[in-house]
Structure 1
Amino acid sequence: MRYVNSKKKLILVAILALIFIVAAAFTYYVSDYYHADNRALAALKSTDTYIVSDTADFITFTPTTNKSTTGIIIYPGAKVQAEAYSVLASKLAQNGYTTIIVKMPFNLAFFGTDKADEVIAQHTEINKWVIGGHSLGGVFASEYALKNQDKISGVIYLAAYPSTNASNATFKALSIRGSLDGLTTVEDISKNLDKFPANTTFITLHGGNHYNFGDYGVQAGDNNSTITREKQQNLTVDYIVRFVKGI
């Protein structure tokens, strides 16, 4: 009997130790993330052309003039602080589009795929929605759109591709990637080409890379770009605006 009890205690100790190790590893993993840089933080200030609302869950850029009834939702890339996409969002707001960056739990869209529901519910003044995401954020933006095709009119894949087949989706899509992207490669796009919505426009930014879509420094594993971050983002905004206008 003592042997059985001792064995049970050893098993319990082993399980508790394993739980502790997994919890510690997860905590370490999520605490190491890319922070928004000063350029991004500067864009969080309201201007004459847009008003910024920064809450625990969302960063909202609301145009002050020429406000469209189409809104844009942005899902950040994995382990990237939401604020890192404020320059991109501010430029979209300057073009008249209410743009909301979603703050993800642990900076991972995996844990907040359906947070767009809250955005849509809070903005009844918007009657048409486009959702987009960078890298892994684009994967889960696509997942949300597939489950909510009655709510979403378009999806923007920034250095991203669908993990679930979206070829029969009713929404239009825009795919933008940099030619020098070392993380979402041309091979990745090609292998998943049949998963994109049938009505997808594909854009390659020559000289662009992966991390230039946001403002969070240099990302491990990526290539250096031969165009500036500002140019890559300006081109991206131009293509997004054209796409949204065509929906």
Structure 2
Amino acid sequence: MKWLKKTFITVIFLGFIMSFLGILYLNFNTYSPMIQAAYEMNRENVYIEDNTIIFEPSKNVVANFIFYQGGLVKPESYAVLAQMLSDEGIRVFIPRMPFNLAILNQNAYKDIIQNSSYMEDFYIGGHSLGGATAAIALSKEATPFKGVIFLAGYGTDDSNLRNKDIKVLSITAENDEVFNWERYEAYKDLLPNDSMFYTIGGGNHAGFGFYGEQKGDGIAEITREIQHKITVERIVDFIKEK
């Protein structure tokens, strides 16, 4: 009995150590917002409700956009993008995900929609893994969304959107070396025929956010500001197109 007790305590202790080291690893490898993004988070139109960051437009709202962050990127890192979209009348929601991994809470959008009384159309999407997660969530049931927006992202073989009544916009960046271009091309067959694709010349993977350079990424030939400007223009045109 003493041996069993010692073994049990040892297993519990090792489990605790492994969990601690895992959390430590994730924290050290998580990208944090740059000063520009931190500044945008302090604007008066930004507030947090039910663990979701909301960017409220100052003019007439034309749509709602639920945005899933990239893997191991803090959600505040997309504050510049969200503010630029809100300036165009798009209300942006960025749910905070467990360990900054959207895949751990695929259905975060449900609480946002169910708890809101907004009448405007809802769109969903995200950056990199965030976009893939949105596609997985959408493929499982009837979608409440008018469209989905991928920023350097694509779905999986299990996230077939081809027969969904939904608009699709996919934006990539020319110098993105984090992105798997082969899988991206293959996934196009699982999207609606009228899906829209656009590649930003000179942009890279990290240029879709403000969190610094990303390991393994290509070198950007344009500024983040320019990449954001083009991204916002494409999203606005996509949403406003009837």
Fold match (TM-score > 0.5): yes
Matched length: 239
Where does 1:36-47 land on structure 2 (aligned, <5 Å)? 36-46=33-43
Which of residues 235, 238, 242 in structure 2 aligns to 1:243? 238
In structure 2, distance between residues paired with 1:94 and 1:213: 17
Normalising to structure 2: TM-score of the pair?
0.90
Structure 1 residues 9-37: Cα deviation after superposition (integer angstroms, max 9, x where no partner): 67646643552353133212321211011
Report the alpha carbon displacement of residue 150 of structure 1 after superposing the two structures with TM: 3.5
Is 1:149 aligned with 2:145?
no
Is 1:92 aligned with 2:85?
yes
In structure 2, distance between residues paired with 1:156 and 1:219: 21
Which of residues 203, 210, 222 in structure 1 aligns to 2:205? 210
Partner of 2:166: 171
Report the alpha carbon displacement of residue 182 of structure 1 after superposing the two structures with TM: 0.8
Partner of 1:29: 25
Report the alpha carbon displacement of residue 56 of structure 1 after superposing the two structures with TM: 6.0
Normalising to structure 1: TM-score of the pair?
0.88
CA 1:22/1:126 → structure 2, altered by over 3 Å: closer, same or farther? Answer: farther
Report the alpha carbon displacement of residue 181 of structure 1 after superposing the two structures with TM: 0.4
In structure 1, distance between residues paired with 2:220 and 2:180: 14
Q: Report SS of the residue matched to 2:41.
A: coil
Structure 1 residues 205-232: Cα deviation after superposition (integer angstroms, max 9, x where no partner): 1111000100001111111100110000
In structure 2, distance between residues paired with 1:56 and 1:84: 19
Report the alpha carbon displacement of residue 75 of structure 1 after superposing the two structures with TM: 0.4
Contact residue 71 and residue 126 of structure 1 kept, 8 A: no
Unaligned stretches of 5+ residues in structure 2: none
Partner of 1:193: 188
Partner of 1:223: 218
The structure 1 segments of at least 4 consecutive aligned residues displaced by more than 4 Å after TM superposition are: 5-11
* Counterpart residue identity of residue 55, structure 2: F
TM-align CA RMSD: 2.0
Report the alpha carbon displacement of residue 42 of structure 1 after superposing the two structures with TM: 1.1
Question: Which of the pair has more CA radius of gyration?
Answer: 1
Q: Report SS of the residue matched to 2:146.
A: strand
Aligned residues: percent identity?
34
In structure 1, distance between residues paired with 2:119 and 2:176: 34
Partner of 2:16: 20
Q: Report SS of the residue matched to 1:43.
A: helix
Structure 1 residues 33-91: Cα deviation after superposition (integer angstroms, max 9, x where no partner): 110111001112336xxx211346111111121222x2111100011010000111111
Which of residues 94, 113, 117 in structure 2 aligns to 1:120? 113
Contact residue 56 and residue 103 of structure 1 kept, 8 A: no
Q: Report SS of the residue matched to 1:63.
A: coil
